[in-house]
Each structure stands twice: as structure tokens, then as C-alpha cells.
Copies of this chain bind each other. A is one copy, B any other.
């Protein structure tokens, strides 16, 4: 995957466990992609993260002196305000209102473009992947949880960092979600919820949601029951998105999306049944896989104007 020609960029996709880093050259090729543990240091995590990013950047510059990055893209999970450059909240990184853009910019000595990991992934899918043909798109990532991002009229719509929280949209009377709300979509329809629910009902811990899908395909009634409930909840959420936002396409990525037709076929059929006059969105698999966030970080850093020094 190449970004096309543009300025060289350092890109970082910061997760709760690892930082994925890449140096993109002027041809848009990643000359190196690497993983480094995320430094978790309690209240000091934002500063420790900034130092780690600077170490990675120095190391890459030493090894590839011919590629001189002109800006960096940094994306993180949680609630992220890209305009103010603030990580408002991230449960697995433990910060609140952390000025990540400023810290990373000082440490790296580069203009930093800061955003949310799933918004960046959605932007990459919009420019390079499954959502290329559309200007009104919802991107959902179904894994341990369910994250989402909105592209409206060809632009990301962060709404101060709070838009796209499809996983924390209520669709049921229960169960309680760790976020504190009740009946969030991700408590019944994430890959994590599917595996957890199967373990509760079957008394056997599956190797992830895909094992539950395999059991369901093989005729296991408990697996089918769990999967059926998850798909119904996803369809309800997709129907609500369709009624309110009417996106042209909904792109679904994350671990569960690799189930392919076993997921997409029942989603399409049941969504169609649930709707009436509504315009059906195309349901498409994400194309860029795990590196979508990293690619998005690079794309964002390439195209957004640097702040005045």
C-alpha cells in the first residue's frame, strides 16, 4: 500500500499495548514499519509516550537519513479532540485531557497532526480502501469493542471528538457496559461480547468470536443463539444509522469482519427486511486491515496544513 506522492511523514498509531510506527517517503511508501511497547506510566503516560515517539523518530532518522519527515501523524484511541490536539479520555491509556499534540510536537521537533485512531482508519478507507467511491460513509470497527467514525460530505466529522460512538449507542435494556451506560451495542455485538456470551452459555471459553461463528456454522445451537442476537443488535444499529444519517455505504472492519459472508450476508438480508422506504446503504468490508490507522495518520499529516509556529 502506498499513499501516492507527497511530503515524507512519520506516522504513529498508539494503542493500549503497542505503538505502530512508520516512516513514509516522498513516494508514499513505508520504508519501515515497526511495533514498540506503549509506555504506560500512570499520570506520566502522556509525557512518557512523547519521549518514546521521539526515540522512535530519532532511530528511524538515523537509519534512513535520506528520508526527512516534514510532519508527524499521531493517532490514539478514546475520545480525541483533533482541533484542540487533546486526548480527552482513553480508558486503556489512563489519561484525561492530555495535550498529546503539544507534547509530541515538542519531543519530535516536528509539526504534529493528531487525531483518533478509528477516524484516521476511516479516512484511509475513504482515500485508499473500501469507502473510496463515497462521500457519506460510516466506518465501524468490530473487535473487542465497537468503534466508529463518520465521513459526511467527504469530510471526517469528529464533533469535538464525540461522534461515531456506535459501540456506545444503546440498543437493548441490558447488559451494563463498562462505560457506565446500559445496553450499549458493544455489550451484545462486539467480537468480545460474542465470545463472552458463548462462554457464559456453553460453559466453554471459545478462541474468540470466530470460533463461535465456526460453531454456529457447524450447527451448534448455543453458538447460533449468541450469534443471532449479536446480528440482530447490529442490524438494529445499522437500521438506525440508515434512518438518521442515510450513508451511501457502511464499511465494517475489525476482527469480526474477517468472518466475511458469514457476517455480511445475514446483515444485508436482515437490514433490508428491517427497512421500508429508506435508502439501503452498501455494506462493505474494510480493505486496509490492521494498518488502516497508521495509513490514516500519515494521510492526515500529509494533507492538513501545519499550524503556524
Binding site for B on A (CB under 8 A): 79, 89, 136, 148, 150, 152-153, 155, 157, 159-160, 162-166, 168-171, 177, 179-182, 236, 239-241, 243-248, 274-279
A274 touches B244 (CB 8 A): no
Cα separation A105 to B165 with both chains bound (whole Å) = 43
Closest-CB distance, A185 to chain B (whole angstroms): 9
User: Chain B residues near A246 (CB, 8 Å)?
Assistant: 159-160, 162-165
User: Chain B residues near A170 (CB, 8 Å)?
Assistant: 236, 239-240, 243, 274
Cα separation A177 to B162 with both chains bound (whole Å) = 32
User: Chain B residues near A278 (CB, 8 Å)?
Assistant: 162, 165, 168, 181
User: Chain B residues near A165 (CB, 8 Å)?
Assistant: 243-244, 246, 278
14 extra interface residue pairs, beta carbon distance < 8 Å, beyond A164-B244, A168-B277: A89-B277, A136-B159, A150-B245, A159-B246, A162-B246, A165-B243, A169-B239, A170-B240, A179-B277, A180-B276, A181-B276, A181-B278, A241-B244, A244-B245
From B155, B179, B245, B276, A168 is in contact (CB under 8 Å) with: B276
From B166, B244, B247, A148 is in contact (CB under 8 Å) with: B244
User: Chain B residues near A247 (CB, 8 Å)?
Assistant: 159
A181 touches B275 (CB 8 A): yes
Given contacts A163-B245, A240-B170, contact A153 B150 (CB under 8 A): no
A245 touches B243 (CB 8 A): no
User: Chain B residues near A89 (CB, 8 Å)?
Assistant: 277
Closest-CB distance, A184 to chain B (whole angstroms): 8
Cα separation A79 to B177 with both chains bound (whole Å) = 37
Closest to A170 in B: B239
Cα separation A239 to B240 with both chains bound (whole Å) = 12
Cα separation A110 to B244 with both chains bound (whole Å) = 33
Closest to A179 in B: B276
A177 touches B279 (CB 8 A): no
B244 touches A150 (CB 8 A): yes
